[in-house]
Structure formats: structure tokens, C-alpha cells
Structure 1
Amino acid sequence: MPDVVAEGLRVLFCGINPGLMTAATGHHFARPGNRFWPVLHLSGFTPRLLKPSEQGELLSYGLGITNVVARASARADELSAEEYRQGGQLLSLKVARLRPRWLAVVGVTAYRAAFDDRRAQVGPQERTIGDTRVWVLPNPSGLNAHWTAQTMAEEFGRLRAAAEA
């Protein structure tokens, strides 16, 4: 799954890993039940609702997308602890090279596993990667019933405000 990245982005969003539909289409967050694109718009990151096939437009807004783990799977719980650890190491190298202002990991469980931080909560983290600050966002998967699109948009909006400051 190719990343949508450039150097010096405002925010580099980081999914857990590609789902099967994402892998099949080549578009991030492609599954219809995934709320990433609607929440990105509701939070003010994009002026209109983008389709997964329009992911390349993110770069014009200073945004990008990558994943913690490159391997596609039907569900994130199919990934091993070792895949998360290796993914966290590779992600750190990518962030150090690209130097986004913020790394936004979507999914607190994935963040905890990738960065060995069992106490992490949604929100800004103390950890930095070089000069890049880290924010953990709720997982926009339709399987994450703890968060509504509106409450996710509020958290994404907090990150947007911090990224614009």
C-alpha cells in the first residue's frame, strides 16, 4: 500500500494497517464503514468530504497517510506484537526522514503496541520523534463503537487546532 507523504507535512496520519478493501483498491481507509474521511472533513481538516480515491489531494492541505504495519488483514487483531514493534521502528525512521509537524496515530491500542507505551491515552503524547510531536486519535473503524463520528471529529479538531497554532 503506497503512502501518501511528502516532507514537512502539517500532519501525517498513521493507520494501523491496510484492510483488505484498502489493499484491493490502493486507497487508504477505503472500507465504506470506516469513518476516517467523514471525520477528517467534520473536524475541518478538509474543506469537503474526500473519497478514498482522492487521497492524493491531502498533500495540498499539508496532510498525509501511512500505516504502522504494511501487511493487509481483515482485522487489526490479526497482527502480531512483533509486527507492531517492527512497524513502530520503521514508522519512527519514516517520521525522522519526512519531519511532519505532527504524527497522528489512529488507534490507541496500535500506538501502545508499536511504541511500547501501555499507559497512552487518546490525545497529545509526551513522546516526540525528532521535532515531530505525536497525537493519538481514536480508531475510525466502524468496529470502534466507543466513539461516534461527532466525538471523533471533536478529537480530530483538537489536533487540527494544535497543528495550526
Structure 2
Amino acid sequence: MLPDLLGTGVRVVLAGTIAAWHRAERVHYYDGPGNKFWVLLHASGLVPELLDPSEDERVLEFGIGLTDLVRVRRSEPGEPPQFDRTAFERRIRAARPQAVAFVSKTAANSYARCAGLRLVRDYGSPSWTVAGTPAFVLPGPSGANNGMSLPLRTALWADLLDFLDTLG
């Protein structure tokens, strides 16, 4: 499992999921082939330069934290994965960001399911929070989401900046 990249004073925590057991062995965040995370982070204006996955720790310089909902046990086929909601919320409370942005609807809905909240249908701010922290839903950066054009994904990621500005 990757170590959290969190610190007090981060403006936003970007949260994904580790649902597949093999993904827990990654060396850097969002380093998979075809993953557009680093391109979206830069093109949206969230960071001023294009970072390489090997530079993932640098996100803290820009007020961004990275963490994942972590799967706690294997599920039976057809069952949704179970995640450690308590540990996730504890990390969010400790970091005290202005917002938590889920890096896909899948990640947001994984949290919503384990918290007993309404599932999201759209991108942007859902009707719920994470441990009292405003939430935001981004389109996924993975190659599996290539059906959505990169310019549209970039625009929706840029909406996170506007959302953060409304929070102060």
C-alpha cells in the first residue's frame, strides 16, 4: 500500500480507491499505463507544472494531499468491495483540508456505500461531506475512462478550483 501524502494545511485531498489487490503494490500514485491523472492535475491548473508519477510527493508543495480508500477484505463475486471508512475519515480529519475530491465516481460511490450515503450520479459537489469536510467528484483519470474526452475531463477537474475558491 502506498503511504498517504497528507499534511496539515493541504487545501484539498484527492482520494482514490484501492479495490484491486494488485494495485496495493504500486510504487507511486497514478503510475499505471494510460492514466491521465498527472496530465489532468496540471492541465486543470491545480498544479503549475506537469509532474511525473515518480514526483508524487511534490503535490504537497501545491497544497494537495493524496490518499486512498483501502479495501479491508476480499468480497464474494458480485458483492461491492468493503473499505476502511473509519481510517479514511480519521486521515481526513487529521489533514483538515478545505475539501476532499474523489478521483472518480467509483471512488465517491465506494465511500458513499460504506457511509450509508446517497450514491453520486454527477460530477461536482455531492449533497454529503466526508467527516464534515466538503466533497467533490471528479471524472476518473484512468485509461478505462477514455470514453470521455480529455478536454472535457480537464474542464471538470478545473471546476474543482472554482469549488475550492467558494470555500475560501
TM range (shorter): 0.7 to 0.9
Aligned pairs for 1:123-142 (under 5 A) are: 123-142=124-143
Aligned pairs for 1:37-52 (under 5 A) are: 37-52=38-53
Match for residue 112 of structure 2 among 92, 115, 121: 115
| Percent of aligned positions that are identical | 28
How much is the aligned-residue C-alpha RMSD, in angstroms? 2.4
Aligned pairs for 1:11-160 (under 5 A) are: 11-17=12-18, 20=22, 23-24=25-26, 26-69=27-70, 81-83=80-82, 86-116=83-113, 117-160=118-161
Contact 1:22 1:29 in 2 (8 A): no
Contact 2:45 2:158 in 1 (8 A): yes
Give deviations 1:42-92, integer Å, cap 9, x for gaps.
000111110011111111110011011257xxxxxx895242xx3333322
Contact 2:103 2:140 in 1 (8 A): yes
Q: Mark the runs of 5 or more structure 1 residues left unpaired by the alignment.
A: 72-77
Alpha-carbon separation, structure 2, partners of 1:33 and 1:22 = 18
Letter in 2 for 1:113: S
Give deviations 1:90-138, integer Å, cap 9, x for gaps.
3222212221111011111232232122344211112123442100111
TM-score by length of 2: 0.81
3-state SS in 2 of match to 1:135:
strand
